[in-house]
Amino acid sequence: METQKIIISGNLGEEVEEAVGRLSPDRLFLLTDHTTRDLCLPRLRECSRLIANMEASHQISIGATDDNKTLESLVDVWTALGEGGATRHSMMINLGGGMVTDLGGFAASTFKRGIAYVNIPTTLLSMVDAAVGGKTGINFRGLKNEIGVFNAADTVILDTGFLRTLDRENLCSGYAEMVKHGLISDRQTLDELLSFDLGDVDYARLSDMVAASVAVKERIVAADPHEKGLRKALNLGHTAGHALESLAMEEGRTVLHGYAVAWGLVCELWLSVVHCGFPTPLMRQVAQFVRENYGHFAITCKEYDRLYDFMLHDKKNTAGSICFTLLGEVGDIRLDQHVSREDIFEMLDFFREGL
């Protein structure tokens, strides 16, 4: 996979024009969802003549939220590219959260065997995770990100100005991935993350922390772009987290992805204590931060089998055995940890009672 250029934006308009100019595409397309079309595109138009003067037929917009990350939306984007005269030398800009950058990246990666694309993430979650690292795709038959390819954006432009209008829940959601990056990095980074006040956001400080967080992901993806080894570190919190997220969706009490990741991190730090000697006081410190900022997700023992089932069907597993990424300490990453059903149920006991 090609490496992508990641820009911490100082001047969005100039950076967009530079990213497009570098590849000088024959036609430029812009993908938004209906929310980013209304709320974020005006800002991009204001600062970039190129975007302000784009033909209407080259501007594609799909429904917002994850339930639009479908084959139907993908077909709509391919159709718009085709009808707009896109060739292999065209280019697409994806302006939005993870749904837009994942689906847009997949549409671009597959249209005429692949056209270049630029991501401009507008949510914290997409800035520190989805838009970076070349994972693209759509949901299929009820399974998240079931169909997709690894193919990096040519450029990712991170403009933290978009975060000033992001609601608290979405800010917290993205922040969980930053805590994950802290846990797989070093104690100082983690301490800084756990001392940040999400109720009274210091945006200048957040901006620096976003840059540091993205650098963690960038380093890991550069070492292992296709998730053969080290990139699995980025799955910390996600085996339990995805199970909680799927259960929540099934029971009609859907939660934002990052909330499930935050709860999943607590679960998997408990496993890390038991299996890898992770320090208990630190696990409790993270659990307290999560409790204060993400609240509690109620589960009962009757749901354990279902949660176990979700974990068993996680696409990160190999041959029917549940595989976790755990930690021996902050930054001491233990990949491919197989954990028994009994220990998983005990982890769920801890989560049910302790959080």
Query: With contact defined as beta carbons under 8 Å apart, do 272 and 331 qualify?
Result: no
Among 27, 58, 135, 334, binds ligand GLY (CB under 6 A): 135
231 binds ligand GLY (CB under 6 A): yes
241 binds ligand GLY (CB under 6 A): no
Q: Return the SS3 of 41.
A: helix
The whole-angstrom separation of Cα 162 and Cα 12 is 11
133 binds ligand GLY (CB under 6 A): yes
The whole-angstrom separation of Cα 251 and Cα 110 is 34
Cβ atoms < 10 Å from Cβ of 112: 14
User: Tell me, what DSSP letter sits at residue 109?
Assistant: H
**Candidate ranges 78-86, 129-137, 153-161, 342-350; the one touching ligand GLY (CB under 6 A):** 129-137
Which residue has the closest beta carbon to ligand GLY?
234
Output 163 or 234, the one with its CB closest to ligand GLY. 234
Burial class (CB in 10 A: 0-12, 13-18, 19+), 103: buried
Strand ranges for 242-343 from DSSP E? 323-329, 332-338
Would you give the binding string for ligand GLY spanning residues 187-226, x where CB under 6 A is met?
Answer: ----------------------------------------
Q: At closest approach, how far in Å is the CB of 335 from ligand GLY?
A: 13
Q: At closest approach, how far in Å is the CB of 232 from ligand GLY?
A: 8
242 binds ligand GLY (CB under 6 A): no
The whole-angstrom separation of Cα 65 and Cα 165 is 17
Output 77 or 234, the one with its CB closest to ligand GLY. 234
137 binds ligand GLY (CB under 6 A): no
234 binds ligand GLY (CB under 6 A): yes
**Candidate ranges 23-31, 40-48, 108-116, 128-136; the one touching ligand GLY (CB under 6 A):** 128-136
69 binds ligand GLY (CB under 6 A): no
Q: Tokens representing 233? A: 């570190």
Backbone angles phi, psi at 27, to 5 degrees: -145, 145
Q: Return the SS3 of 283.
A: helix
129 binds ligand GLY (CB under 6 A): yes
Q: Tokens representing 275? A: 């299996």
Residues in contact with ligand GLY by the rule CB under 6 A: 129, 133, 135, 231, 234
